[in-house]
Amino acid sequence: MKHDISLAVRRFIGENFMFRDDGDAITHDASLLDAGIIDSTGVLELVCFLESSFGIEVHDEEMLPENLDSIRAISAYVSRKLESRKIELVA
Amino acid sequence: MCGIAGFFALTPRTLAPRGVLERMVEAVRHRGPDDAGVYLDRRAGLGHRRLSIIDLAGGKQPLATADEKLWVTFNGEIFNYVELTKELTARGRQFRTRSDTETILHAYAEYGPACVESFNGDFAYAIWDRERQRLVMARDRMGVRPLYYTVHDGVLVFASEVKSLFLYPGLRAELDPLGLDQCFTFWSPLAPRTAFKGVHELPPGHQLIAEHGTLKVQPYWKLRFPARGERSRADADAIGEQVEALLADATRIRMRADVPVGAYLSGGFDSSVTTALAKGYNEGLRTFSLEFESPELDESAYQRTLVEALGTDHSSLRCKGGDIAAAFEQVIRHTERPVLRAAPAALYLLARQVRDHGFKVVLTGEGADEVFGGYDIFKEALVRRFWARQPNSKWRPLLLRRLYPYLGGLQSQPARYLEAFFRTGLAAGDDPLFSHLPRFALTRRISQFYSGDLRRAINGYDPLEDLRSTLPPEFGSWHPLSRAQYLETGCLLPGYILSSQGDRVAMAHAVEGRFPFLDHRVVELGAALPPAMKVKGLREKYVLRRALGRHLPRAIVERPKQPYRAPDSESFLHAGAPGYVDALLAPEAIGRAGYFEPRAVRRLVDKCRNPLGPVSAGDNMAFIGILSTQLLHSCYVQALI
């Protein structure tokens, strides 16, 4: 599951910010800000993508580089959100 | 105001025939629809298209001295020609016309090429000195009027616009990879480089002397700032009086014309100042403005406030997205370089409106931001420098929220991301380009679309290093604000503001813009002012507001800075967009032109067409930059549609 998230995120970043077929050029841990891949308003696009693709809601206080600045961080963040939603549903 | 063209054999040889000169001049007919003239002898050819503004009956060009030893073809205005004429008459020179053109000839006869230092104006001219067999070309200090040249087969070929040069036998257009790379960094090529290979732009404040088979290009004026700590104590009231008196005089001499002078009124502070001052010299002043459908871009409420307060006779044009796209093809034919914003098209439409109302001359407020410290990039640099002293500070970067209030996308970013964006180059406090590094980095994102061929042609060229190498030796001793002003005045002002948004789109309709804030006396005074008289805290144009604000409604004086903007990619991606948009952005057309990667461009276009949120500044710039490059190629190099 985590692998699928990471693939989808990599593909989105590759196509939308690097305008390539894939995001192979970025490593899993590379900072998207430091590499200049996400521009001044790019994070808003990324959030829209995560919300519409994974059905999660990104709260303002979660819009942090810790959650969104690398493919690994994004995948982990989305997994946590999906996990907590599953727990909420079960409860 | 006019268009010029010509050629000069560096060493005696057979020149192109008269018909070539006539065609070169005809190519800039839009700059001067009122009259035309050419002069040709065995060594030189001078051509002229005239827009009659001063001495309607006597100002025909090319003009010669009575002995026909000196000939001139001239584009622009020498605003202090009245004073110069008196001075030269007192020295025994006899004038045959009332035109400023004749002043150039007599001043040259009296002082030689150094005469240029006595001119206060916006000009580009070529003087053919038959006796010395010397051609002298010069361009105004700030770069208001254009002048291009190339050397082909021992002949210097020159013109107001590049398009004339390609009519000279043997010359053909090819885009310059380094010129494009500069455009996609600084928003325009930096003179002498242009978007065309082998074509040079005479830099602002320079003259070119061609004699004895060689060309010498040299500056006659340089923008300089005092070293840090050189200033005396500032008295804001005394400085304010000085600024007002000088601006009033700069406006007064810019009202000189034998046709009515109007004014652009954007609703911002700067054009309000020029309008208020001009009103003092012309009670029935006509003003012109644009309105936009988007509330984020529209300034019509401010325009109405001003018209009411100043009592001008006002006309406004409502600009729709479709208008921008419909005009853009012609706009790029005139700018002769790629652009990164749609705003030049809006100003093209505004100039057309002015012309439709029968006006040939307008005053504008351009230059105030460069001279008196109005741009947000100046405040941005000061905040970043303040932050860099304590890079871990949590509250210092919060000041960035007070910048760019008109950029909704930027304002809606989470604080940590806003901080991350402006952190670009934060550690590079010693870099002379410190103030501009975030802007250059954002603009250079367009390079990710470059094709393999374009990358190979650029071959590792670094435009930032190139710019650093041209800075004056004393640059480092200046205050950081002065350094930022110097970069802005040298990069964006002549190549973009005064050209793509200025001369080229106004003269497309034979409309002459005049800029009181760019009178060199005002520029020199602004440079000498203490930085705190320009940006005080985070208040821009402090002394200007203090001195001139009393002539204007409070709402105008206190409103934050808003640059002229127009809808960008959205102007081209609606159902009724003209056919050239899809045709030029199609993968085959992108591949044929060869500058960009077709698949990457496809993705960008799809993204701008179906955005997940507001289209980012970087994507908008890339879209407009790519589309305008395709148009430029199709217009001048090889038709793509």
Most confident of the ranges B22-26, B289-293, B411-415: B22-26
Q: Which two tokens stand for residue B128?
A: 């053919």
Higher-pLDDT residue of B268, B561: B268
Given a contact cutoff of 8 angstroms between Cβ atoms, the answer to whether B437 and B431 are in contact is yes
Average pLDDT of B562-572? 85
Residues of chain A positioned with their CB less than 8 A from the CB of B442: 39-40
Q: Which two tokens stand for residue B250?
A: 């700069």
**Residue B208, strand partner residues:** B137, B217
Answer whether residue B308 shows pLDDT above 70: yes
pLDDT at B201: 98
CB distance B442–A40 less than 8 Å?
yes
Q: Least CA distance to B450: which residue of chain A?
A: A19
CB atoms within 10 A of CB A39: 21
What is the residue extent of each domain of chain A? Answer: 2-90
* pLDDT (tens digit per residue) in B130-160: 999 999 999 999 999 999 999 999 999 999 9
Residue to mutate among B410, B612, B621, with most A CBs inside 10 A, is B612
Q: Which residues contact A7 (CB under 8 A, 6 or more apart)?
A: none
Note the residue count of chain A: 91
pLDDT at B397: 75
Q: Which residues contact A84 (CB under 8 A, 6 or more apart)?
A: none
Answer whether residue B482 shows pLDDT above 80: yes
Q: Rounded to a whole number, what is the distance in Å from the CA of A19 to chain B's nearest CA?
A: 5
What span, in angstroms and rounded, lies between the C-alpha atoms of B601 and B605? 6
B626: left (phi over 0), alpha (psi -120 to 50) or beta: alpha
Cα atoms in the 13 Å half-sphere on the side-chain side of B30: 20
What span, in angstroms and rounded, lies between the C-alpha atoms of B248 and A7? 64
* Residue % of chain B over a pLDDT of 70: 98
CB distance B613–A16 less than 8 Å?
no
pLDDT at B320: 82
* C-alpha gyration radius of chain B: 24
Higher-pLDDT residue of B179, B560: B179
Answer whether residue B418 shows pLDDT above 90: no
Most confident of the ranges B345-359, B385-399, B434-448, B606-620: B345-359
Q: Least CA distance to A52: which residue of chain B?
A: B612
Q: Which two tokens stand for residue B256?
A: 């000189």
CB distance B421–A39 less than 8 Å?
yes
Given a contact cutoff of 8 angstroms between Cβ atoms, the answer to whether B326 and B579 are in contact is no
What span, in angstroms and rounded, lies between the C-alpha atoms of B254 and B121? 9
What span, in angstroms and rounded, lies between the C-alpha atoms of B409 and B424? 18
Summary mean pLDDT of chain B:
93
The answer to whether the peptide bond before residue B192 is cis (omega within 30 degrees of 0) is: yes
What span, in angstroms and rounded, lies between the C-alpha atoms of B519 and B246? 9
The answer to whether the peptide bond before residue B62 is cis (omega within 30 degrees of 0) is: yes
Answer whether residue B473 shows pLDDT above 70: yes
* pLDDT (tens digit per residue) in A56-90: 998 888 888 889 989 999 999 999 999 987 777 66
Backbone angles phi, psi at B553, to 5 degrees: -60, 145
Residues of chain A positioned with their CB less than 8 A from the CB of B604: 19
Q: Rounded to a whole number, what is the distance in Å from the CA of A46 to chain B's nearest CA?
A: 9
Give the residue numbers in A contacting B (CB under 8 Å), as ranges.
Answer: 15-16, 18-21, 33, 36, 39-45, 48-49, 52, 60, 63-65
Q: Least CA distance to B418: which residue of chain A?
A: A40
CB distance B614–A63 less than 8 Å?
no
Q: Least CA distance to A20: which residue of chain B?
A: B600
Which letter does DSSP use for residue B37 in this model? E
CB distance B597–A19 less than 8 Å?
yes
Answer whether residue A23 shows pLDDT above 70: no
Answer whether residue B618 shows pLDDT above 70: yes
Residue with tokens 């003259």: B207
Q: Which CATH architecture fits B236-371+491-558? A: 3-Layer(aba) Sandwich (3.40)
Alpha helices in B389-443 (DSSP H): 408-411, 415-422, 437-443
Which letter does DSSP use for residue B574 in this model? S
For the entire predicted model, the pTM comes to 0.93
Nearest to A41 among B449, B601, B616 (CB): B616
Answer whether residue A22 shows pLDDT above 70: no
CB distance B417–A16 less than 8 Å?
no
Number of CB pairs, chain A paired with chain B, less than 8 A apart: 74
Which 3 state secondary structure label does DSSP give B516?
A: helix
Nearest to B15 by CA among B48, B46, B47, B43: B43
Q: What angle do CA B450, B451, B455 make, to 5 degrees?
A: 75
Q: Least CA distance to B422: which residue of chain A?
A: A40
Q: Which two tokens stand for residue B247?
A: 């601006």
What span, in angstroms and rounded, lies between the C-alpha atoms of B485 and B97? 40
Low-confidence winner among A26-30, B166-170, B410-414 (lowest mean pLDDT): B410-414
Q: Which CATH architecture fits A2-90? A: Orthogonal Bundle (1.10)
Answer whether residue B611 shows pLDDT above 90: no
What is the residue extent of each domain of chain B? Answer: 2-174+190-219, 236-371+491-558, 569-637
pLDDT at B384: 86
* C-alpha gyration radius of chain A: 13
Q: What stretch of H or E contains B6?
A: strand B2-9
DSSP string covering B208-270, please?
A: EEEETTEEEEEES-----PBTT------HHHHHHHHHHHHHHHHHHTT--SS-EEEE--SSHH
pLDDT at A89: 64
CB distance A45–B616 less than 8 Å?
yes
- Cα distances (Å, whole numbers) of residue B557 to B221, B243, B349, B399: 33, 16, 27, 22
pLDDT band at B125 (very low <50, low <70, confident <90, very high): very high
Residue with tokens 């407009």: B624
Q: Which CATH architecture fits B2-174+190-219? A: 4-Layer Sandwich (3.60)
pLDDT at A2: 67
* Residue % of chain B over a pLDDT of 90: 81
- Cα distances (Å, whole numbers) of residue A13 to A47, B6, B366, B596: 12, 52, 40, 20
What span, in angstroms and rounded, lies between the C-alpha atoms of B331 and B539? 35
pLDDT band at B488 (very low <50, low <70, confident <90, very high): very high
* pLDDT (tens digit per residue) in B77-102: 999 999 999 999 999 999 999 999 99
For residues B433, B439, B445, B451, the Cα torsion angle rounded to the nearest 10 degrees is: -60
Residues of chain A positioned with their CB less than 8 A from the CB of B613: 41, 44-45, 48
- Kindly tell me the burial class for residue A83, based on how many C-beta atoms sit within 10 Å of its own C-beta (0-12, 13-18, 19 or more): exposed
ipTM of the complex: 0.79
CB distance A45–B600 less than 8 Å?
no
Long-range contacts: B93-98, Cβ < 8 Å, 24+? B94/B66, B96/B58, B96/B66, B97/B55, B97/B58, B97/B59, B97/B63, B98/B54, B98/B55, B98/B58, B98/B59
pLDDT band at A21 (very low <50, low <70, confident <90, very high): low
Which 3 state secondary structure label does DSSP give B36?
A: strand
What span, in angstroms and rounded, lies between the C-alpha atoms of B110 and B229? 40
pLDDT at B539: 86
Answer whether residue B126 shows pLDDT above 90: yes
pLDDT at A39: 67
Average pLDDT of B571-585? 95
pLDDT at A43: 84
Low-confidence winner among B95-99, B184-188, B198-202 (lowest mean pLDDT): B95-99
pLDDT band at B116 (very low <50, low <70, confident <90, very high): very high
CB distance A43–B417 less than 8 Å?
yes
What span, in angstroms and rounded, lies between the C-alpha atoms of B473 and B476? 7
Low-confidence winner among B102-111, B210-219, B419-428 (lowest mean pLDDT): B419-428
